[in-house]
Every structure is written in structure tokens, then in C-alpha cells.
Amino acid sequence: MEQAEAQRRWELSPAGQAARQAEAAEAQWRREVEYAEAQRRHQLEIAQRAEREAGEARLRWEQSTAGQAALAYGRGDRYFSIELLVDGDLAHHLNDIAKAGWLEESVGGRRHKKTAIQRPLDDGSHEVMRETFEYRTYLFRRNV
């Protein structure tokens, strides 16, 4: 009991209150340091994600028709050849190549790819769906 009373008196004394304030200030400082560290980690994660997404976007562009044409032009290639699917996007792809600085020289070969998908029906028969895709090979020369 005496020890508890002495402890209570010390806590109420100026030295005890100063010690309590110092502990509170240290706890607040630790929280602020932890918060700042969490913020730094979060910003680092955001930067890493942005860098990764930029790399993925760059890779997608390099694999696109426009990217292939621009890279070939940038390398100084005299000719650029590409095989394109004849579909609703064909004109868009050809325009992308022209924007990169290429002039259409000729349309080379044509290739057809046929696919067949069989789907079983409830009556034991099956349905066959066939598609044919046409590809054309285009040759371009530098627009110099």
C-alpha cells in the first residue's frame, strides 16, 4: 500500500508528469515515424506499379502494327513487310504504318486460315462452325 501511494505521489509530481509527457511525446513520435514509413512504402509501391505498367504498355506498343512500323523506320530500315488480317481494322493498321513514314510498295501474298469448331447437340449430332481468315502480306518502302 505504501509503495502504491509513493507511486501515485511520484506520478502527480512535476517529475512524474514530465516523464509521462516525455513517454507520450515519444509514442507520438513513433506513430509519426511509422506513418511516414508506411507512406514511403505506399509511394514506392505506386512508383513500381507505374513503372511495370509503363513497361507492359511499351511492350504492347512494340508488338502492335504501329509499333513495329515505327521501330523499323527508326532503325533506318529501307523496307518494311508485315502480314495483316483482312478485317475491319485493316485500314486502321495501314494508316498507322503510313503515319510512321512508310509508303505502300505492293501487296504480296495472300494466305487463308480455315478453322472448324464442333459443338455437340442434345440429339447426339453435332454442329460444325467454320471460319476462314484471310491474311495479306504488305511491303512498304521508306518515304524519303
- Which residues fall within 8 angstroms of residue 125, CB to CB, at 6 or more apart? none
> Is residue 4 pLDDT above 90, yes or no?
no
* Mean pLDDT of the region 13-21: 84
| pLDDT tens per residue across span 46-57 | 999 999 999 999
Instruction: Give dist(CA 144, CA 140) in Å, integer.
Output: 12
* Domain range summary for the chain, segments of one domain joined by +: 2-50, 78-142
3-class secondary structure, 99: helix
pTM: 0.62
Do residues 108 and 59 touch, judged by C-beta distance below 8 A? Answer: no
